Chain A
Amino acid sequence: MSRPGLRRAGLGALVVLTLTAPLWLANPYYLHILIMAGIFAILALSLNLLLGYTGQLSLGHAAFFGIGAYTSALLTLRLDWSVWAGLTAGMLTAAGAGWAIGRLALKLRGAYFVLVTISFAGVISLVSVNWMALTNGPLGLPGIPPPSLGPWSLRSKAAYYYLVLAATALAWLVCARLVGSRIGRAFVALRENEPLAESVGIDVTRSLVLAAVVSAAMAGLAGGLYAHYTRFVSPEVFLFTYTVTMVIMVVAGGKGTLAGPLVGALLFTALPEALREATSWQWQMLTYGVILVLLVRFLPLGIVSSLSAAIPRAIDQGAGPRALARPQPDGTAGAASSASRSELPLSNRALAVRDLAVQFGGVSALAGVSFDVRPGSITSLIGPNGAGKTTAFNAITGYLRVVRGQIGYGGATLNGLRPSAIARLGVVRTFQKTSVFPALTVMDNVMIGLHLRGRAGLVGVLSARRWVRDEEARLRTEAERLIAFVGLDRRRHAVASALAYGEQRLVELAVALAARPALLLLDEPAAGLAGAERDAVSDLVRRIREQGIGVLLVEHDMRMVMGISDTVVVLDHGVVIAEGPPTAIQSHPEVVRAYLGSAAAQA
């Protein structure tokens, strides 16, 4: 049997076993473990959405779990709501809390996000203990009703098992659809390289808040299911150990994978119970700890990721010197037609930089710089190292605060806009230090670049509408065309970090082009490329210009700069010392002194 065949058969057997579990599991205790594993699987999936995909660690997930549990419990107990309405309300309340946390954590990443989530969980836990009138304090809320379906009560373990199984499947489906969509790609982009994600128009705040809301809603659902299963909630649901267990499940199972949280939840719910039977209590925690350490030591990426990495795949063959193919005419035409779809006519899209000043501490990096980039033309920015070229790039594209001056673009002012907003206007940049999404394939890199060309929102993605699937297919075709355009078609499925330096620069170029720029800022695109490859890049940049796109180029290869530029602007010590056509610049005495040196003759 072939490998995919085997895989399908294995999965099929697993599904049958899962669906028939209450029939062959005679002991209700085992069924209980499976139900708890299902509830934890939903929690782990929800945490994985944040930790595994956006890369943000929430240590407050027990709070969303508890909010879901208490909300549903209180509504069914005090107001006699149906359990289904209670579960829904629990989800929505938790989602609201997730939204608040997401907004709070707006500017906070990494360690600060962790702190905010821990404090949040601490506060909610204190409220549950001390607001006696509402929560009955540490005594908890007993007698929570079980759900019923029409005339049937779902009181039995077998019935509840199917309910939890359905909820787990739903949670998994939500994750799977998100991850396979432009929304999920935006999450991963933030994890992999936030500045680059912003440069192609991904709104960081929106994406993080969305991830927090969906994640919190799922945790809230798990909380509600827990409350109506144990029929009792107390402040214990907020225990930090629950959060730690979730993190262990996600990390040991395989964060950033869809199956990892499921495997982790099953394993780490069943393991303590198995140990309880196998050893005396003194050894339980010790053995648990040893198993965990061994797992992390030998499967550092988690069970699922490590196993799937162990399965060898067909690897793309290395690209020879001629792999950097000449751009294909049809690819060019396609990109041109899509570029012209922007709202403003391209001819109006000129960049006008006036009296731009930027300071670092007391040092003035740019001291009043003015220049223009016309559509369909190439303007090069050259100058000694430290002259302020990259600073100008960062200021124009919103990565740096401007002290003084105006950056006008096609009637809009770019001053003070965020990088993603500037990208939406059609101004896209590349970075001097190679900047790709390292853990993703070339294809996925470019798909992220296409973010702004898709329109699918949360509802569309979750309901998997036909037009969303069509859009996805269209983006994929477009990505392949762009990859071919930069000459990386044979490397399509290679992971970006495994590519040679110069190939990574081409990936960057494809990602930037994918964002459909009307003005493209290229920071040393030919750095690290050999002679013939440089010529190919020059050719590429020319073809980009032919599409009516304005190009602002920073490059030290004078043969390239002088060969393709319409205008050259020379910066030194933060001011423009010369501006003009290449021929005039090449012989400009001050430029030769400050920058070109005698090498000008050889170049």
Chain B
Amino acid sequence: MQEGELVCLLGANGAGKSSTLRAISGLLRPTGGRIVFAGRDIQGREPAEILEAGIAHCPEGRRVFPYLTVDENLAMGAYVRRDRRAIGEDLERVCNHFPILRERRRQLAGTLSGGEQQMLAIGRALMARPRLILFDEPSLGLAPTVVETTFRIIADIRRRGTTVLMVEQNAYLALRMADRGYVMETGRIVLTGPAGDLLGNDHVRRAYLGG
């Protein structure tokens, strides 16, 4: 991936998309191969080290700290940062993206609805102000209007210079905004190309776009 690119990873269940993201962010230890980020080998390093290097991971399935408040969850996203003022600005920006989070600042994250937790998870990843952000199913469980907002936010993040690698089942929306895409099947990449080409590809159409 080039700096500033938005790349999406497609594939069926169990194809290895989430595992790929987890290997990059250090949550999984790869058994072979290299992962190079900004000229440095990062495979097999601790997740905290990788986050400090500038890679944030927004895992799938609404992972939040249920017994911390919304504010505290967002603060956890900025855990490795020292620039207090900029953290404040980012907090403001996240709350502007998802106004519902501002309303619920002091509520425990576990009491939010599923979709609200997903917004919080995205917000928390943004709080790390990463150079590369990994999104795993950002639109999972979000209402259609919020899905639109979320994709707008991702486009916005990328416009500000953050590189984005995204796994998304809503392949149509994902490919429309991506630069390039990779298609994975049973643990390997079987197809790659500019997003526009993939949108027109018969196989992709049949398997991932649905009808």
Interface residues of A (CB under 8 A from B): 318-321, 323-324, 360, 382-387, 390, 432-434, 499-503, 524, 527-535, 556, 558-559, 594-600, 602-603
In the complex formed, the residue of B with least CB distance to A382 is B143
Closest 7 pairs between A and B when the two form their complex, measured CB to CB: A385-B115, A531-B210, A502-B13, A321-B12, A597-B145, A500-B14, A386-B113
Quote the shortest CB–CB distance from B80 to chain A (angstroms).
Answer: 27
B141 touches A432 (CB 8 A): yes
**Are A530 and B169 within 8 A (Cβ)?**
yes
Q: How far is the CA of A570 from the CA of B180 in the complex (A)?
A: 37
The residues in B between 100 and 125 inclusive whose CB is less than 8 angstroms from any CB of A are: 100, 111-116, 118-119
Tell me the bound Cα distance from A271 to B186 in angstroms. 49
- Are B143 and A556 closer than 8 Å at their CB atoms? yes
**Are A596 and B144 neighbours in the complex by a CB distance under 8 Å?**
yes
Measured between beta carbons, the chain B residues less than 8 angstroms from A524 are: 114, 141
* Bound: A529/B60 CA distance, A: 12
A434 touching B61 by the CB < 8 A rule? yes
Look across to chain B and name the residue whose beta carbon is closest to the beta carbon of A388: B113
Which A residues touch B209, using CB under 8 A?
Answer: 531
Closest A residue to B63 by beta carbon equals A433
Task: Verify if B62 is at the interface (C-beta below 8 Å from A).
Answer: yes
B residues in contact with A556, CB < 8 Å: 115, 141-144, 147
Q: Can you name the residue of chain A whose Cβ is closest to the Cβ of B12? A: A321
In the bound complex, how far is the Cα of B145 from the Cα of A594, in angstroms? Answer: 8
User: Could you write out 20 A-B pairs with CB less than 8 Å apart?
Assistant: A318-B14, A319-B12, A320-B186, A382-B143, A385-B113, A385-B142, A390-B114, A500-B18, A502-B12, A528-B137, A528-B140, A531-B210, A532-B12, A535-B210, A556-B115, A556-B141, A556-B144, A558-B144, A595-B145, A602-B173
Question: Is B211 in the interface zone, CB < 8 Å from A?
Answer: yes
In the assembled complex, which residues on chain A have CB atoms less than 8 Å from the CB atom of B118?
385
Using known A-B contacts A386-B100, A386-B116, A599-B148, determine if residue A532 contacts B14 with beta carbons closer than 8 Å. no
B169 contacts which of A323, A386, A432, A528 (Cβ < 8 Å)?
A528
Known: A323-B14, A530-B11, A602-B172. A432 touches B60 (CB 8 A): no
- Cβ-defined contact, B119 with A530, below 8 A: no
A94 to B208 CA separation, bound complex (whole angstroms): 60
Asked if B206 is at the interface (CB within 8 A of a chain A CB), the reply is yes
Q: Does B15 contact A (CB under 8 A)?
A: yes
Q: Is the CB of B210 within 8 A of A532?
A: yes
User: Looking at B12, B61, B211, which has the most chain A CB atoms within 10 Å of its CB?
Assistant: B12
Measured between C-beta atoms, what is the minimum distance from B118 to chain A in Å?
8
Cross-chain contact B185 with A532 (CB below 8 angstroms): no
A527 and B113 contact, CB distance less than 8 A: no
Which listed residue (B18, B116, B187, B206) contacts A385, Cβ 8 A?
B116
Q: A433-B62, A531-B207 are in contact. List 18 more A-B contacts (CB 8 A).
A: A319-B12, A319-B186, A383-B143, A385-B119, A386-B115, A390-B114, A433-B61, A524-B141, A527-B140, A530-B11, A530-B12, A530-B208, A532-B208, A556-B147, A559-B210, A594-B145, A599-B148, A602-B173
Q: B78-102 CB contact bits vs A (8 Å, 1 = yes)?
A: 0000000000000000000000100
Which of B14, B61, B172 has its CB near the most chain A CB atoms (within 10 A)?
B14
Given A386-B113, A530-B208, A599-B148, the answer on whether A501 and B13 have CB atoms closer than 8 Å is yes
Say which residue of A383, A432, A503 sits within 8 Å of B14 (CB atoms): A503
Partner of A532, one of B16, B62, B114, B206: B206
Chain B residues with CB under 8 A of A386? 100, 112-113, 115-116
Residues in B with CB closer than 8 Å to A597 are 144-145, 148
With A385-B113, A386-B100 as known contacts, state yes or no: A533 contacts B141, CB within 8 Å.
Answer: no
Residue of B nearest to A365 (CB): B113
- B residues 122-163 near A (Cβ < 8 Å) are 137, 140-148
* B142 engages A599 (CB within 8 Å): no
Contact A595 B144 (CB under 8 A): yes
A284 to B142, CA, bound (A): 61
Alpha-carbon separation in the docked complex, A558 to B13 (Å): 20
Q: How far is the CA of A386 from the CA of B169 in the complex (A)?
A: 22
Which of B61, B143, B146, B207 is packed against the most chain A CB atoms within 10 Å? B143
B188 to chain A, nearest CB (A): 10
Q: Which residues in A have their C-beta under 8 angstroms from that of B206?
A: 532
Cα(A596)–Cα(B115), bound, Å: 15
Residues of A within 8 A of B140 (CB): 527-528
Task: Given A434-B61, A535-B210, check contact A385 B114 (CB 8 Å).
Answer: yes
Task: Determine which of B11, B148, B187 lies in contact with A321 in the assembled complex, contact meaning CB atoms within 8 Å.
Answer: B11
Alpha-carbon separation in the docked complex, A433 to B209 (Å)? 24
- With known contacts A320-B185, A385-B146, A432–B10 Cβ distance under 8 A: no
User: Which listed residue (B13, B137, B143, B144) contacts A319, Cβ 8 A?
Assistant: B13
Judged by a CB distance under 8 angstroms, whether B51 is at the interface is no
A603 to chain B, nearest CB (A): 7
Q: Determine the chain A residues whose CB is within 8 A of the CB of B112 once the complex forms.
A: 386
- Are A432's CB and B114's CB within 8 A? yes
Contact partners of A320 in chain B: CB under 8 A: 12, 185-186
Kindly state whether residue B171 has any CB partner on chain A within 8 Å. yes
- Which residue from chain B places its CB closest to the CB of A383 in the assembled complex? B143
- Please indicate the chain B residues that have their CB under 8 angstroms from the CB of A603 in the complex: 144
Whether A533 and B144, one on each chain, are in contact in the complex, defined by CB atoms closer than 8 angstroms, is no
Nearest-neighbour CB distance to chain A for B114, whole angstroms, equals: 5
- Give the distance to chain A from B153, nearest Cβ to Cβ, in Å: 14
**Docked CA distance A31–B9 (Å):** 65
Check if A596 sits within 8 Å of B145, measured CB to CB: yes
The verdict on A527 contacting B187 (CB below 8 Å), with A499-B14, A503-B13 known, is no
Min CB–CB distance B91 → chain A (angstroms): 21
Given A323, A384, A598, which contacts B143 in the complex, CB threshold below 8 Å? A384
B residues less than 8 Å from A558 (CB atoms): 144
CB closest residue in chain B, given A506: B13
Of all chain A residues, which has the CB nearest B171? A531
B169 touches A385 (CB 8 A): no
Q: How far is the CB of A471 from chain B (nearest CB, A)?
A: 33
Kindly report which residue of chain A lies nearest to residue B211, judged by CB atoms: A535
Nearest CB of B to A575, in Å: 16
In the complex, chain A residues whose CB is within 8 Å of the CB of B13 = 319, 324, 500-503, 528-530, 533
Known: A501-B61, A596-B144. A321 touches B114 (CB 8 A): no
Q: Could you say which of A318, A501, A533, A599 contacts B186, with CB atoms under 8 Å apart? A: A318
Please indicate the chain B residues that have their CB under 8 angstroms from the CB of A503 in the complex: 13-14
CB distance from B206 to the nearest CB of A (A): 7
Chain A residues positioned under 8 Å from B61 (CB to CB): 433-434, 501, 528
A183 to B60, CA, bound (A): 34
CB distance from A593 to the nearest CB of B (A): 9
Which A residues lie within 8 Å of B142 (CB)? 385, 556
Bound Cα distance from A390 to B143, whole angstroms: 13
Contacts of A360 in B (CB 8 A): 111
Report how far A527 CA is from B115 CA in the complex, Å.
Answer: 12
Taking CB atoms, residues of chain A closer than 8 Å to B113 are: 385-387, 390
Contact B143 A385 (CB under 8 A): yes
Which of B15, B60, B114, B169 sits near A531, CB closer than 8 Å? Answer: B169
**Bound Cα distance from A323 to B206, whole angstroms:** 15
Interface of chain B residues 162 through 200 with chain A (CB within 8 A): 169, 171-173, 185-187
